[in-house]
Structure 1
């Protein structure tokens, strides 16, 4: 592993883990460090930028392997949850911070769960944001059913009619351009009401990128429900009430399984509460990390 002189210097850094470049970006000057793992898999990290939270924490945004300036693995099937967790651990060890939190969004939440189960004492706290303890047939059937209901929630919005089909095509995309175009097309489904903020969200939508090799990884469904009761790390679980893919009951399932956990539901958000309700989201994360640091939510 290569090491720059100051691993937490604001800006972009590249280290090498197991011969593979790992890119990360540091922003903020808070006393505690929080690694941020974006979703996808294969999605560019920039959509998860949280400027308000950077006023409270030093955020370390990872570019997951297979995306952006981070390295590529030899075969799509190599992009397994445990592989992502291994790279997270390489960054945690490299930073060597006295207080380290990990925030995983969506697929990044799967990675965060696997990480804390593999390294139960490595983190000060865990934040599971818009994620689930399992995938599989029921998970995907529910997500598709929620997409089928979009026209009822957004009457008069013609573009929602084909989102289910576009979503399924995007999941099976085999080239980056098709995956990127598909994600941009289905983005409104990830919000409680995209069109209320369409003009301000347009730049983010245009900047989204997808790398399809990580999306094509084969493997069994994710399911750690039976393991979560062993988690001793203080944990915050965050859900959006209108999240079509990681609906609130998956967050509630996480909360019920993980001891020492706290659950927050954002009633006016979908999958992206940090964009839809930024002040409330920032307050929830900042309060949790402060409480953990002060020992008010302990192991």
Structure 2
């Protein structure tokens, strides 16, 4: 990956890195607060200029002093990156929480987009979505009831989200939680761990981060740019039904379901993931020439 670059917005440093050649594609990882290294996509760098952002509040980017990490505000930093590299438009690949940012970007800045790649994400974030994820976690634990790491993932999820017996208070506790529940993010954690090695993520906890509820379900029909939705069949936190609902609500959307993946299809089914993205970009480019 290329050297880190920085654009400053209202005194806040937004760091990003560029790799590859071809049409520009912004990449916004999930979290929030999870460092973006897990979302390196070398198979796409062969055909696209991948612009990997360190979302504000994590990685090498600054924290926001006022704690206002609204989805639209993340989008303003993404627009500043496009401006900084001199790209009038680009694709926007957003994973999980990064998909929230991509969707909001499609509403706020449609003129800056060639297309949206909405990867294991949702059109809303609030209590209902958290309760659905809790149900998904329970189903995951039941599926792998003989695996201690699965049982521990369910225990840690409940300790933070249900019983509230564990508090996220600093980077250490946040990291312990995220890496403790990590097995649930994969269709088969053990198989993936054996194949690729360490799956731990680095995190930053900002104690000033304000709650940021968000819901664009009633606005999906106004997003006119082409969209690709990618979802893993076994994704517990952004389950396939949400992707199908988004596809039904968006005027120009296609969907790719990865049958052997959870929340990290770019790791579990890397070839299929890359093919879906590149086919989408190729088809859009051919359509622009017709």
Q: TM-score higher than 0.5 here?
A: yes
Q: For residue 178 of structure 1, what is the aligned residue in structure 2?
A: 173
Q: 1:15, 1:261 → 2: CA distance?
A: 32
Matched, 1:209 2:199: no
Give the match's secondary structure for 2:211: coil
TM-superposed CA distance for 1:284, in Å, is 0.3
The corresponding residue for 1:137 is: 127
Q: Which runs of 4+ in 1 moved over 6 A?
A: none
Q: Take 1:215 and 1:57, find their aligned partners in 2: how far apart are those partners? A: 36
Matches within 5 A, 1:210-289: 210-213=203-206, 216-219=209-212, 221-289=213-281
Specify whether residues 106 and 265 from structure 1 end up closer, same or farther in structure 2 by C-alpha distance, changes over 3 A only.
same
Question: What residue is the counterpart of 1:189 in the other structure?
Answer: 184
* Structure 2 CA distance for aligned equivalents of residues 15 and 216 of structure 1: 22
Please give the root-mean-square deviation of Cα atoms over the aligned residues, in Å.
Answer: 2.0
**Map 1:76-87 → 2, pairs under 5 A:** 76=67, 78-87=68-77
Give distance in 2, aligned partners of 1:97 and 1:158: 48
**Which residue in the other structure is 2:93 paired with?**
103
Taking the aligned partners of 1:167 and 1:82, their CA distance within structure 2 comes to 28
Conserved in 1, the CA contact under 8 Å of 2:120 and 2:232? yes
**Alpha-carbon separation, structure 1, partners of 2:272 and 2:88:** 27
Match of 1:4 in 2: none
What CA distance in whole angstroms lies between the structure 1 residues aligned with 2:155 and 2:100? 25
CA deviation after TM superposition for structure 1 residue 197, in Å: 2.2
Cα deviation code 1:60-101 (max 9, x no counterpart): 10000011211111133x111111111011112222225510
Distance 1:215 1:155 in 2: 37
1:242-269 CA distances to partner (integer Å, 9 max, x unpaired)? 0000000100111111111111111110
Structure 1 stretch displaced more, 176-185 or 161-170:
161-170
Contact 1:234 1:297 in 2 (8 A): no
Structure 2 unaligned residues grouped into runs of 5+: 162-166
Tell me the equivalent position of 2:164.
none
Partner of 1:48: 39
Whether the 8 Å contact between 2:153 and 2:182 is mirrored in structure 1 is no
Give unpaired runs (5+ residues) of structure 1.
1-8
Residue by residue over 1:200-234, the C-alpha shift from the partner in whole angstroms, topping out at 9 and shown as x without a partner, is: 444232xx111121894313x32101111011111
Please name the residue that 2:59 is paired with: 68
Measured in 1, the distance between the counterparts of 2:263 and 2:148 equals 21
User: Across the two proteins, how many residue pairs are aligned to each other?
Assistant: 285
Residue 5 of structure 1 corresponds to none
Paired residue for 2:282? 290
User: In structure 1, what is the Cα distance between the partners aligned to 2:196 and 2:185?
Assistant: 12
Larger mean CA deviation between 136-145 and 242-251 belongs to 136-145
SS at match of 1:42: coil
The 1:10–1:163 alpha-carbon spacing in structure 2 relative to 1, beyond 3 Å, is closer
TM-score by length of 1: 0.90
Do the aligned residues in 1 keep the contact of 2:141 with 2:151 (CA within 8 Å)? yes
Matched residue of 1:204: which SS?
coil
CA offsets, 1:104-138, max 9 Å, x none? Answer: 00000001111110112111111100001112222
Q: In structure 2, what is the equivalent of residue 32 of structure 1?
A: 23
**What SS does the aligned partner of 1:112 have?**
helix
Contact 1:85 1:111 in 2 (8 A): yes
Q: TM-score, normalised by structure 2?
A: 0.92
Q: Distance in 1 between matches of 2:245 and 2:208?
A: 25
